[in-house]
A and B are shown apart, each in its own frame.
Chain A
Amino acid sequence: MKKLVVFILLLALLTGCAQPPAAATVAPPPTAQPTQAPTTPPQPPKPTLLTDKLGEAKDLVPTDAEVATAKAVLGTGKIGIIPCTMGSEYHSTVANSAVARAKELGITAEISDPQAKAEAQISAIENFVSAGAKVIMICVLDPAVVKPALQAAVDKGVFIVQTSGRESAINGIGISIEDADLGCAAGELAGDAINTILGGKATVAILDYPDLPNVVIRADNIEKCLKEKAPNANIVGRFKGGTTDFGQTSMENALQAYPDIDVVASINDAGAYGALTALEAAKKDQAKTIIVGIDAEAHARDLIKAGGMYYGTVDTNPSETGVMGINAAVKLLAGATVPKDIKVAVVKITKDTLK
């Protein structure tokens, strides 16, 4: 029996070794491969990055000639995609839509999941560089942590496309909604709802996630913009959210200390779902309780449409962000002239906008 189990395990291990790496690989369709004998890829033309204006999605749409040049420069190389995590709908949608766009263009793109660990992003960057990536598209968890690894990649000629802020796009393009913009939009949504539904007065809890510096910026701006819109709102504190379980546990505890909480503004939708469960369990008045999230996940949209406590969310447009990331990579590889900073439009979602 023991020998049999060991044999099966060895067989499984050998089979596993024969498999390609676990990263999600999208090879270009066979027809997209050049038919002539492999040659040394041409040196990439140097892109011109404009810093005098904030670009938009349309500025990144590549021409056919740029796609052809980019593919020639890329050769057998690839685009490495490092999301913040694949464990949330927003981030997985960004990464998956980027892969889909790459496939559409006949370019190889791979995802490496750092599971929301900034340190793991360093290894992911290094591995992609070793594996011949010529562009790294990254959602930076902590700019300070990944800076040396990104700089080392840039020194080897790799372009960076950042999809979470702009400060880490050392040799490339930053595509993002600033966390400050996102937080402010959520704060304004909550502030508007406080004014129209609650007459300007409310007891507010903010769901934060202090483990990640960029998310704290979101929470800071939720607070700032909410106070600007609804100065009479009383913000009782920040509580840990970020995941459904944290959001739920924090809100259950917060309701013990502050039973009057009638507004929750969350740094993402996942945490807001937990708050919703806790507020429903506390039998809060559906018509007089407001929850605002960020990310515009499908479930959040359904809740908003249903017309309960979930008042609104902020659309971060993850599908478009992924497409823009690959478009930006193509522009960089093709040596195009392109704005260095690209803004993704922030859209506030409420029941009215979903009609």
Chain B
Amino acid sequence: MPSQAKINFQKIVEIIGENGFILIFIIWVVLLSSTTSTFLNSNNIFTVLRQAAIVSIIAIGEMLIMLLGGMDVSLAAVLGFSGIIAASLMVNYNVPPELAGLVCILIGGLIGFINGILVTIVRINAVIATLGMMNVLNGMALAYTQGKTIVGPQLDQIAFLSRGYIGAIPFPVILMFVFYIVFYIILNKTVFGAHIYAIGNNDKASWLAGIKVDRMKILAFTVAGFLAGFSGLLQASRQGSATSSMGNEFLFPILTGVILGGISLSGGRGRIQNTLIACIFLMTITNGMVLLGISLYVQGIVSGLILIVALSLDRLRYRRR
């Protein structure tokens, strides 16, 4: 018969395991709140949320694919390429922003669709297929821009998307929450969502149960592409310009956000709300280190350690099963 102390210890481990990175996030927030005077002011909170908006929106697409047991490493490149196209259409061809934005999103969707075809019909491993696509897109971005910055006053027309406010709340923050609410409902309250989880858990059983597995995968890649295309538009708006290297910085935070949020690499498991929290957590790490005055030259060490600890705690729950 286990002692009371042992039961208590197990409960603590269970709680820590269940909440994993969120616990570290809370500790980090408490630390920043108690050691800096600025972290908890609304201006700083909105700054962090605004910074998290683009990564977290594109992370929804990555999460859909990872829930299916795949992985798309081209999404950051899709963001960069589609953002360049949108900016170029507006600056070089005076295309109205609505049309440029639509083209940008459609291009993202088309690339996602091609990825889906490569993975399901051509049967290339998802990582390999999207790695190839990433290189193609980065190359096309470079060839198209010739390394030059695309910039012009026409981009002011889309500034509101990432720099505007509704009341006191930054517009991209509202967008971010809207996307998460919509996809929360899709994943948790619709047949589509149920099928995503089912396929991720066992695609053969899902197929035997009559779920059109390949069609669902193509759809997931396409949706991820649409989201990446839209994120490209947001990033062009945020920077007020577009460069060939625009998407390069996004791959690591997207994957980190989704994995830290607890989406299983083998698919079928994970909560969308945790992806959002993880993306916000990532932004607070960078923000917090600046507020704490940590030297730029050791920030990498600190952020790496925080992530390792957070991931280690999160994995406790899987070890216990």
Contact = CB atoms under 8 A, between A and B. Distances in A.
Interface residues of B, number: 41
Contacts of B41: 256
Given A245-B249, A256-B287, A299-B149, A5 B117 contact: yes
A322 interface: no
A249 B287 CA distance: 9
B146 A96 contact: yes
Interface stretch (A74-82, A221-229, A233-241): A233-241
Given A89-B147, A208-B296, 14 more contacts: A2-B121, A87-B243, A87-B244, A92-B147, A92-B148, A243-B249, A244-B241, A256-B39, A256-B287, A257-B36, A273-B151, A273-B239, A273-B241, A277-B238
Interface string A338-354: 00000000000000000
A242 to B, nearest CB: 10
The majority secondary structure among interface residues of chain B is loop
Nearest to B37: A257
Given A1-B121, A5-B121, A273-B241, A249 B296 contact: no
A219 to B, nearest CB: 9
The majority secondary structure among interface residues of chain A is helix
A274 B240 CA distance: 9
Contacts of A92: 146-148
A93 interface: yes
B96 interface: no
B62 to A, nearest CB: 18
A101 to B, nearest CB: 17
A252 B296 CA distance: 15
21 contacts: A2-B122, A5-B121, A22-B139, A85-B147, A96-B147, A113-B142, A237-B295, A237-B296, A244-B239, A245-B238, A245-B246, A248-B238, A252-B50, A252-B51, A254-B290, A256-B38, A256-B43, A256-B47, A257-B38, A298-B148, A298-B149
Contacts of A253: 47, 286-287, 290-291
The 10 nearest A-B residue pairs measured at CB:
A92-B147, A253-B290, A87-B245, A256-B44, A244-B239, A253-B287, A238-B296, A257-B291, A87-B244, A86-B147
Interface residues of A, number: 43
B196 to A, nearest CB: 24
Contact of B122 (A5, A87, A248): A5
Contacts of A254: 290
Contacts of B299: 240
A143 B50 CA distance: 38
Interface of A: 1-2, 5-6, 9, 22, 85-89, 91-93, 96, 113, 115, 208, 210, 237-240, 243-246, 248-250, 252-254, 256-257, 270, 273-274, 277, 281, 297-299
A297 to B, nearest CB: 7
Interface of B: 36, 38-39, 41, 43-44, 47, 50-51, 117, 121-122, 138-139, 142, 146-149, 151, 163, 235, 238-241, 243-246, 248-249, 286-287, 290-291, 293, 295-297, 299
A103 B197 CA distance: 58
B235 A245 contact: yes
A92 B147 CA distance: 6
Contacts of A270: 149, 243
Contacts of A93: 147
A37 B139 CA distance: 38
Nearest to A4: B121
Contacts of B117: 5
A120 to B, nearest CB: 13
Contacts of A91: 147
Contact of A248 (B138, B146, B239): B239
Contacts of B51: 249, 252
Nearest to A238: B296
Contacts of A6: 122
A6 B241 CA distance: 39
Nearest to B235: A245
Nearest to A219: B296
